Amino acid sequence: MCRSIKTLRPPMTPEVHDEDVHAAALQYVRKISGFRAPAAHNREVFDAAVEAVAAATAALLDGLEVRGATPAQP
C-alpha cells in the first residue's frame, strides 16, 4: 500500500522511536484520507485518526514476538 512507510519491526529496525511511529501513522492517514494536510474543519478528526493509528502501531510492535530475536533488555 504505502511503499514509503518503512518497516518498524525488530530486527529490521532495532530501535523504534515514538517519532517513527507517529510519522508512519501520519503517512497512513494521509494515504487513506487523500489529504496531505486537512482543511480546518477536518483537522480534529484527522489528528485523532493519526493518534489512534500511532497507538495501534505501538501496541502491535510491543506485542510482537520475533522468532530468534533476543528479548530487549530493561
Q: What is the pLDDT of residues 22-48, one digit of tens each?
A: 999 999 999 999 999 999 999 999 999
Rounded distance between C-alpha atoms, residue 49 and residue 71, angstroms? 31
Q: Is the pTM of this model over 0.85?
A: no
CB-based contact 5:27 (threshold 8 Å): yes
Confidence of residue 16 (pLDDT cuts 50, 70, 90): confident
Please write down the HEC assignment for all residues of the chain. Answer: CCCCCCCCCCCCCCCCCHHHHHHHHHHHHHHHHCCCCCCHHHHHHHHHHHHHHHHHHHHHHHHCCCCCCCCCCC
Rounded distance between C-alpha atoms, residue 16 and residue 5, angstroms? 13
